[in-house]
Amino acid sequence: MQRVLIEILADEYSKFLSIDKVTMYFLFRGCGLPTPEIRAIYKSHRPSAILNISHRQDLEDYLREPESLPIYFKQSSGSYGHGNVLAQRLDGDILHLGTGSSQPLKDFCNSLDEKIKLGWILQQPLTAHPKIAEISGTEKISGVRIHTLLLDSGPQIIRAIFKINLGNLDSDNFEHGVSGNLLASVDIETGKLTRVISGIGLSQVQNPVHPKTKRDLVGFQLPYWSEIVELVLEAHLAFPGYLCPGWDIAICESGPTILELTYFGDIDLSQHSYRRGFLDSKFMTFMRDRDLEKMLYMKRKRRQELLTSYGSEIKGHLGMTRHHWQW
C-alpha cells in the first residue's frame, strides 16, 4: 500500500529535490530555513560555495586538520540513516566513531568509496536539547518525524512521531524495530508524547520505561513544539510537488533544525506508534477532496496510465504532468 500511495502522491519530477540532500539543503537555505551546516562534500561535483573534496588522500588530510572533527558523514542519496556515522576524534592514525568503535583513518576513508552515489555530505554534528538528552541518556539526536498534507488551504500536520535514540547508533532510525530505538506518538496539538513502543510484532512492548535512564516517557513535552509546527508548515510551501511528505526535525538547544525531507516517508513508524492505520478518516477525506481515492482501487497498469499519460482525464491538464500537479 505504501508503494501505491507513493505512486499517487509523489510527483516524479519533484522527487530529486529530496533524493539528493545537497539539492534539498540548498533549497532550504535559500528559503532561510535552518539545516545543519554543510562543511564539505566528498566525491561529488558541486558549486564552489561548498568545499569539494575529490580524492581519498585529500579527505584524510582534511580530517587531520585540528578544526575538522567532530563531523557527521551522511550519504547525499542515502536513506534510513544507512551509512551515517559521526567521526568524533583522531588519535594518531586511529579514528574514533560515535558508535564507540574505532578504525584506521585510511580504512575509514576507503570504506566511503564503496557506497558512493551522489557523494557524501560532511556536516555539522548536532546535539539534542538538554531536556531530551536527560530523558534519553545521550546527546545524540532524537528527532521527530512529521507527516503533512498539502490542502487547498495550505499544509496541515496529520502525524508526529518522536524517534527516541538510545545512543547505540549514530542515527535515531527505528529500522523496523531492529535498531533498538523507541518510537512515540505525539499529540500534534500539544507536542506531548502519548504512547511509546519498543520492538515490533509479538515482541512489541507498550509504554516501557527508557531502558537506560529508567524514565517514564509518556507525557514528556517536546521542547519548541510551536516553533516546530511553524517551521514544518512554512517549509512545505517550498515543495508544492509533494502532497504528503515526511519531515525529520532535530530539536536542539538553539531550536528546531530540518534534518531532511522525504517525498512520502514510511507509514510503519506512524502505525506502530499510534496503533492505527495510516489511511484514517482525515487522510481519506484528503484523498476524496483531491479526487484521488478511486486510484487506490485501480489495477496498477490503469493507475499508471492515468498518472503519467499526456493530460489528466480528470483535470484536463495538457502535457506530461502528474495527475495531482496543481498548476
Across the strands, what pairs with 197?
A: 183, 206
pLDDT for 199 beyond 60: yes
Instruction: Please write the tens of the pLDDT for every residue from 107-150.
Output: 999 999 876 778 999 999 999 999 999 999 999 999 999 999 99
* Grid coordinates of 228: 516546530
Give CA 149 to chain center in angstroms: 16
Residue pair 196/206 in contact (Cβ under 8 Å)? The answer is yes
Range with lowest mean pLDDT among 13-22, 63-72, 157-166: 13-22
Give CA 54 to chain center in angstroms: 27
What is the pLDDT averaged over residues 81-96? 91
Spatial distance between the Cα atoms of 2 and 271, rounded to a whole number of angstroms: 12
**pLDDT for 126:** 96
pLDDT for 296 beyond 60: yes
**pLDDT for 308:** 67
Range with lowest mean pLDDT among 132-136, 152-156, 309-313: 309-313
Residue pair 257/249 in contact (Cβ under 8 Å)? The answer is yes
Mean pLDDT of all residues belonging to the chain: 90
Instruction: Please write the tens of the pLDDT for every residue from 244-279.
Output: 999 999 999 999 999 999 999 889 999 999 999 999
* Choice between 50 and 316, residue whose per-residue pLDDT is larger: 50
* Grid coordinates of 92: 594518531
* pLDDT tier at 319, thresholds 50, 70, 90: very low
